[in-house]
Chain A
Amino acid sequence: MYRYDEFDRDFVNQRVSQFEDQVRRRMSGELTEDEFKPLRLMNGLYLQLHAYMLRVAIPYGTLNGSQMRKLAHIARTYDRGYGHFTTRQNVQFNWPKLSDTPQILHELADVEMHAIQTSGNCIRNVTSDQFAGAAADEFADPRVYAEILRQWSSLHPEFLFLPRKFKIAITGAEHDRAAVQVHDIGLQLTRNENGEIGFVVFVGGGLGRTPMVGRKVRDFLPENDLLAYSEAILRVYNRYGRRDNKYKARIKILVHETGLEELKQDIETEFEATKNGILDLPNEEVVRINEYFAPPSFEAMPKISTELEAAKREDRDLALFSSRNLHAHKAEGYTSVTISLKPIGGAPGDATADQMDVIADVAERFGHNELRVTHEQNLVLPHVKLQDVPTVYKILKANELADSNAGLITDMIACPGLDYCALANARSIPIAQEISKRFEEVKRQNEIGDLKLKISGCINACGHHHVGHIGILGVDRKGEELYQITLGGSADQNTSIGKIIGRGFPEAEITDAVETVVDTYLANRLDEDESFIEAYRRLGDQPFKDALYGA
């Protein structure tokens, strides 16, 4: 697993000490809020409705048992006993005191964690596929390249003050599990006909006020050119990106206003000038970082575990769990287990300190001490022996962590919304909870099958509603919360932005409306194998409109 090198450790410790001093000066009144705000944001500290909020980075969503246990400790000691895992693969604490934050950051640094680059107009923490290093279908471990990008970007003097924040995502397989096409740069690992590793490159994707799907600028970028090409993109953006208007400052607007062909040309020209220089990716560096992410030594195991199969025959719930929450592993006899943070009626992404401790234990005992945070607000044990699944399931179940709903309608994304967020127009969590309860019945959820429902409390789209098969956006209409439905969004390799289907619904009607949409799908699908998104793409929005608003 990735370990800090000396440079990182010094850097993080230095930043914590600096921040400690800044907090002290703020508390003594030496610094005003105007002076302090950019400093606290650089350290992941926001001010929300009820209190400060601390956003802690989990690079590439990868963490180990002691790091998870530290998060539990922070939740218990400095917060209110829980944490919130988010779509940016990080964790947020909702109630820390300003005076405690330096201590919290010290404690995080003890386990090599920090809150750097979780906000501000810099290159943010690179996000990745939650099954990285484990998935049967991946070309290479995407975290290696994510880390190379991080090391290049962390302190890059040219890129600390970009026109706006900049997000990079990378996925290791053809099946995109990292929503790369809605990031400023999206990278998808691939191989060319000679078997060499490289990337499909997308630029200019994003959500928020102006959602856009990233445009493909390279079908195959050789591995060696990753940094030079990224540098070229950033330089072009830094030079031409708009600084006059915050809403037009993301690279997606530049792509849109300049046009793809011209921008591609600009990037290629810049790239010609940059490549074959110091930014060539030295092979030794790739090897070194690959070693950091070296997979654990897997034992030779039978492909099918007789223990698990027998246990599944005994326990239908375990069978159901195995059918939804296990993902194919590259090593025979192993699997990746999704721990759903979407209990029926719960707040998506929340975990209690006690649950975090349990998960840390399970990871250490059965999962080679590795955990992942997914952008869908769940956790993953990437490397578990199939034969250990019954025991892991039992422990998870005893701690209310064994919901067998990965990828189903109740496994939804919701942002914090108006219950916590100062920017919100409407609440998200209670809507998620109502819908979850409405679709509680296991049989029904499974009949509906794969369905991604995503909820945001305002147009910033932290809940990814634009790319939900069903998206819900909370708006404010004269003081009343109103919920708009979009249909047909998707964040995988066939990324699309959902279409607003019609006028919004008040809180009391939105769950019924979602049910109407789902029932319309069930009534119109060709057969059980046609998923919601496939049926929508075939049918268009008319049947759904008719059902919601009358023909």
Chain B
Amino acid sequence: MKTITANRLVDGDVVWLGHNGEWVEFVEAAWILNTDEDMTSALDFAKAGEDKQYVLGTYAIDLELKDGHLQPKSLKERIRAQGPTTRLDLGKQAERHLRSA
């Protein structure tokens, strides 16, 4: 399982590629790529995002299921998806709370 990630140009915020080529702010909403075909079209969307100067530095990452939740495999990507492990009041982990509150 893979998906595509990047940083958004205007504020540097971490984003992932959604199902329709849009960029989403939470990894849970990312497009999960299971086939080579999906990956090929995702990479096209990613390039378009860079060409339009909406995002920068797009790349593919590995995902895994942990306790029924989808999460990035590497610690670095998990920290990007959540925020600093030492400041739970910052980053996505904090925004997620705000949205569901």
Contacts and interface: CB of A to CB of B under 8 A. Distances in A.
B86 A430 contact: yes
A47 B11 CA distance: 10
A87 to B, nearest CB: 18
Contacts of B50: 33
Given A98-B9, A99-B11, A50 B80 contact: yes
B53 interface: yes
B71 interface: no
A533 interface: no
A98 B8 CA distance: 10
A26 interface: yes
Given A427-B85, A479-B75, A51 B53 contact: no
B77 to A, nearest CB: 9
Contacts, number: 70
Given A419-B84, A420-B84, A429-B86, A29 B53 contact: yes
Interface string B70-84: 000111100110011
A221 to B, nearest CB: 44
A344 to B, nearest CB: 14
Contact of A98 (B10, B74, B83): B10
Interface size class of A (residues with CB under 8 A): 20 to 34
A99 B53 CA distance: 14
| Residue of B50, B57, B75 with most partner-chain A CB within 10 A | B75
B53 A50 contact: no
A50 B11 contact: no
Contacts of A424: 76
B91 interface: yes
Interface string B39-59: 000000000001011001100
Nearest to A422: B76
Contacts of B75: 418, 479, 481
A347 interface: yes
Given A419-B84, A481-B75, 11 more contacts: A26-B53, A27-B9, A33-B53, A52-B11, A80-B90, A98-B9, A99-B10, A99-B11, A427-B85, A430-B86, A433-B86
Interface of B: 7, 9-14, 50, 52-53, 56-57, 73-76, 79-80, 83-87, 90-91
